[in-house]
Each structure stands twice: as C-alpha cells, then as structure tokens.
Amino acid sequence: MDKQKKLPNHIAIIMDGNGRWAKQRNKNRIYGHNQAKKSVKECVEYCVEHKIKFLSLFTFSTENWNRPKLEVKALMKLLNNVIKDEINHLIEQNIKIKVIGDISKIPVKTEINLKKAIDKTKNNSGLTLILAINYSGKWDILNATKKILLDKNQINLKIFNDNIFENYLTTTNIPEPELIIRTSGEHRLSNFYLWQAAYSELFFTDILWPDFNKKELNNAIFEFQNRERRFGSL
C-alpha cells in the first residue's frame, strides 16, 4: 500500500479455496471452512486500522445450497457461532453489520442471530461489514426488477435511469466496490455483484483463502493504487 495514494472506499472479497486448502492437508472441507475464520478477522482488522469504510464478504451464494448437506449444515453452524462469538468485539470496534441476500431461507437460529447483530450494531459509524448470504448478482437484479414491477405506479419511465434502479438493489446506499478480490486462482465473479462490479478493479490471487492475510490484502491494495481508472474515458 502506498500511503500517499487513495485507499479504496469499498473492498469486496470472494473468499475461495477453503476446500482445496483442507485437501492439501488431508483434512475434510469443513476443516478448511473453520480455519478460514482467521483470514476474515485479519481483513476486518486491516480495514478498521486503515479506516476503509466498507468491506463485503461473499459468505454463502445461492449456488452453495448445491453442496453436500453436511457441508451446508456445517457452514450455517459456523456462521451462527462466529456471529455469536464476535458480536461484542464488533461493537467495541465500532463495526456495523449489514446482510444482503435472502436470509429467510437460512436456518432460523442463524437468521435470528444475524438480525440481532444487525440491530446491535446499527448505530456504529466505523467499518460497515457487508455479509452476502444466500446472495447472487442475478438474484439481486431479478429481485430489484420484481420490486419495480410492484411499484410500477410510482415509476416514471421518462426519467427512470440506473441511479433509480440501484435504489431497488439490496446494496442501496452502499457505494460500488472499487476493488474486488478473489482468492484461489479462479478468474471469475461467480455471480457476485454483477451490477455493482461494472467499474470495479479486479484482483485475482492464487493464495487460498485460509492463507490470505493482511500482507496479501495490502498487496492487492497496492496494485489497485497503481492502476489507472478511466471509467470509459481516455
């Protein structure tokens, strides 16, 4: 990171590679997911330390329901436990929790604890930690379109534009991510922030998520700072 250059206001991370990381160590995939907590903590701490305002984590996609039932159950239990264990620390760090996605489909206990965390941190003014849970970019766009159709009497098509459309997305009032990071060597968005990523800088690394740390995040930000962002102009 170059301290003389602008930091991204919003960083989004596709946390990938837990299963492969575990396999390399002759462990099951659930072990990899559990070890990934450390990477989440490091990224959150980094953003707090450097006063980055928004951090989005692609926590559980709509496609992840297709994984083995035992793994899905373990992921939901892990999410539930992390929220319960870390809520006081999040409050102390002035972190606000926001969840995007259809959480009505997740286990009731996890949904309740997430809503409690959202309520307990709603007045915090530091980092906004956005958890994308049962989320996909296609779902977000389709969901926004449904809301618009239900609200059609309030829509003036003559002035309808992308700014108005964005008010119907789950990310309304959240700035678009300037930097999207994906770990594990895969080079795709995998249905994450499809609308919001229009002008995001993309950073791909071969590092598997459980090995991602402050140093790796710092490297991604340094590359971001040294790119020229033209937004379609010369």
Catalytic center residues: 16, 64
Per the DSSP assignment, residues forming a β-bridge with 58 are 14, 132
Could you please report the per-residue DSSP string of 18-30?
A: HHHHHHHTT--HH
Sort residue 84 into left (φ over 0), alpha (ψ -120 to 50) or beta.
alpha
Residue 40 CB-density burial (10 A; 0-12 exposed, 13-18 middle, 19+ buried): buried
* Helix, strand or coil, per DSSP, at residue 121: helix
**Would you say how long the chain is, in residues?**
234
Q: Which tokens go with 142?
A: 């389709």
C-alpha 228/C-alpha 45 separation (Å) is 27
Nearest to 14 by CA among 174, 212, 158, 160: 212
Q: Which tokens go with 182?
A: 């994906």
Do residues 61 and 106 lie in contact, with contact meaning Cβ atoms separated by under 8 Å? Answer: no
Per the DSSP assignment, residues forming a β-bridge with 99 are 131
